[in-house]
Structure 1
């Protein structure tokens, strides 16, 4: 009989398919993202720990199979950090379907803690990790084709959103109406993104993680030791990996020095690899492209009734502020990656 501190009808139907858990298991409560339900699972025998992920935003086994192929390839490569190791069920597959139709995956647990942008050494370590991952991805043998479009396909991904998609949000709530400056900033950047996307197509390209942010890493002391959540891997301009990480670091909280945090990250990254001059010149544009993509994604979620207005407000206003900050610091950001 499985003991669980966090009950869900899906747990029995999913975890019952793994021979590693046939002696019983215990599910611990924990945080989950908007797209997935994530829980730690402890086997009754030998105390082996796993991480269970139930996918809530899609039921496409191909997406998870691709993710697991990438994880398997990284684990077989010389990549120096830990990444999840997918576990096979009784059918010999790493993808499991629950009785309610949702799909799930079980991976070996990577012990550690969540890092903090307040820790300078962890930021430097994250920069080194990003460089190491980019180098590993450059020669990783992946047989499957990417499922998600690259960031530079933003306009087609979101159906050519239009000249007023952001300014029209002022009608959605009083808070957004009072954030006209942020909405105008996003609308202006959307109008310019075509040039950024066209330039990104000409940059060096290979697989990227696509969401390499602090919450998707594992730390031990001052070091980043593991990377998580490879669900959104795709083939894109490789510099987009750096843009995503930097944007997350810059947006993390209102305290401290965003440029200083970016400098710490770039110090670690430069120790591992160098970008081309074309990649460095386009990096601020790629950072803003990330914010446009996130904003349009959450506009869609709001329109589909998946999120409340409060979620959309926080995302869009934060993205507008972040784009304005990047625009004011473009020279400094480029200098961080050119420093020797």
Structure 2
């Protein structure tokens, strides 16, 4: 077993035995069998499609299950997936975005037709209050009014995030009327693999842990939100959108909602890491770093998105 670096929510190992390889995942942040069962049901349904890229396929145990509960480690769940050949994109590489867009569009179209046969456990992004019960408006306002010592130097950044949280909370109802379907919900360069010989070609989409029913436009919004601040931001967004929109046509209302959904993603990540800090899952330094990064992105989104809307409404980028 070789432990892989990276990842906030799980511990991952490469397992080798008898010339075979697999990926072992240990779920570190929850003990909810239902969440994993839904994820695996989606993956097993997707495995029946002839997709032009690979997805993880759960390996079944000798008793026919796809997960086990460990006797050690406080009863954490673990599972194994087939090993997929490929490389994580290099941080400085941007040539894979057209392929990424097309792959994400294909996945979105297929997920729209997929019925895992189980109720989802994760709530849609706009269900902030139910998803993060610790993060009431009063609690988040209290964090800003009386920040812990390690956040004292980040009070301006905290203000940006708290204001964004309050503003987005007042806009959530308008999202409920948009088209809904299954979404991956966490697609980004860390959750894909590119070809070992051709780094511009995406060969796998990974980590379906947060797959749930949500606004269809949330899928590209999550991805686009991760491109903010990139040195080639507008170019890679155009490249991604060219690939995505070649596979999926969103309504004008959906396209116009994407900047708001991108802001929702940033607020959701803030509440996610704030919850992890309050629950004792993460050290203070993790929340400190996230506050810096997220505030910068929210400031950019708040500064105007006319350029982004022009790209989205142009259709082919």
Per the TM superposition, whether the score is higher than 0.5 is yes
Question: What is aligned with 1:240?
Answer: 218
TM-score under structure 2 length normalisation: 0.92
Task: Compare 68-77 and 172-181 and name the one that shifted more.
Answer: 172-181
Hey, what's the Cα distance between the residues in 1 that align with 2:271 and 2:107? 27
Hey, what's the Cα distance between the residues in 2 that align with 1:33 and 1:140? 27
* Post-superposition offset of 1:261: 2.5
Greater RCO (Cα-Cα under 8 Å, separation 6 or more)? 2
Residues 106-160 of structure 1: CA deviation (Å, up to 9, x unaligned): 1110010001464333011111111111100110122001101100111232236
2:172 to 197, 201, 209: 197
Establish whether residue 249 from structure 1 lines up as the match of residue 227 from structure 2: yes
User: What is the SS of the residue equivalent to 1:76?
Assistant: coil
Question: What is aligned with 1:20?
Answer: none
Establish whether residue 178 from structure 1 lines up as the match of residue 153 from structure 2: yes
Unaligned runs of 5+ in 2: none
Hey, what's the Cα distance between the residues in 2 that align with 1:79 and 1:141? 17
Establish whether residue 302 from structure 1 lines up as the match of residue 277 from structure 2: yes
Unaligned runs of 5+ in 1: 1-26
8 Å Cα contact 1:50/1:109 also seen in 2: yes
Residues 243-280 of structure 1: CA deviation (Å, up to 9, x unaligned): 1111112255xxx1323322221122122222111111
Question: What is aligned with 1:24?
Answer: none
Question: What is aligned with 2:292?
Answer: 317
Hey, what's the Cα distance between the residues in 1 that align with 2:104 and 2:91? 15
Question: What is aligned with 2:208?
Answer: 230
Establish whether residue 281 from structure 1 lines up as the match of residue 259 from structure 2: no
Hey, what's the Cα distance between the residues in 2 that align with 1:317 and 1:32? 19
Hey, what's the Cα distance between the residues in 2 that align with 1:76 and 1:92? 18
Distance 1:285 1:63, change over 3 A: same
8 Å Cα contact 2:4/2:14 also seen in 1: yes
1:106-121 to 2 correspondences below 5 Å:
106-116=80-90, 118-121=92-95
Establish whether residue 88 from structure 1 lines up as the match of residue 60 from structure 2: yes
Count of equivalent residues: 309
- Two-structure CA RMSD over aligned residues (Å): 1.8
